[in-house]
Amino acid sequence: MIKIYAVGGTIDKVYFDGKGQYQIGDPEIGKILEEGLVNIPYSITSICQKDSLDMTEEDREEIYKAIEQDDYRLFVLTHGTDTMVDTAKKLQTIKGKTIVLTGSMKPAKFKTSDATFNVGFALAAVQSLPEGVYIGMGGQIFHPDNTRKNREKSRFETLTSDY
């Protein structure tokens, strides 16, 4: 069984007003999985529900403790992309679990969002990867110590070829 933690970010954003402002809404992951006819066992829990730029070290500690104390072994986190690497680095000392962080560059409610693809990719990745913490975005797996978000190109990229 896979435990999914929804922690907010662009994937869960909805329009707040007519000026194009966004607000974090209810987690979209359940709807994504239902529409994708996913039939693997999973459980969804919501934590934080924040834009990742608003996340604090206390929020990351709350996520860390939730995963560390959870009996599950496989985890997918839907997370905002701006500080996803920071959270992934925080989680690296957790042993005996496989953790994949994913999100989207556009809200899941948008027709052209990458959310559905990234969620499906993360679900497949968490079942295939060895124990550790990974970022799964755009069809690639990234190691937290060796990646960054390229805001100009709206994608993640590897910093060096050491991995």
State residue 17's pLDDT score: 53
How many Å apart are CA 45 and CA 103, to the nearest integer?
15
State residue 8's pLDDT score: 76
State residue 24's pLDDT score: 58
* Phi, psi values for residue 63, rounded to 5°: -65, -45
State residue 49's pLDDT score: 78
Cβ-count burial 110-149 (b if 16+ within 10 Å, e if not):
eeebbbbebbbbbbebbeebeeebbbbbbeebbbbeebeb
Residue boundaries of the structural domains of the chain = 2-158
State residue 20's pLDDT score: 54
Output the pTM of the full model. 0.84
Query: Which architecture does CATH list for 2-158?
Result: 3-Layer(aba) Sandwich (3.40)
Mean pLDDT in consecutive groups of 10 residues from the start of the chain, 163 residues: 86 57 65 80 87 86 96 94 93 97 78 82 96 95 92 85 54
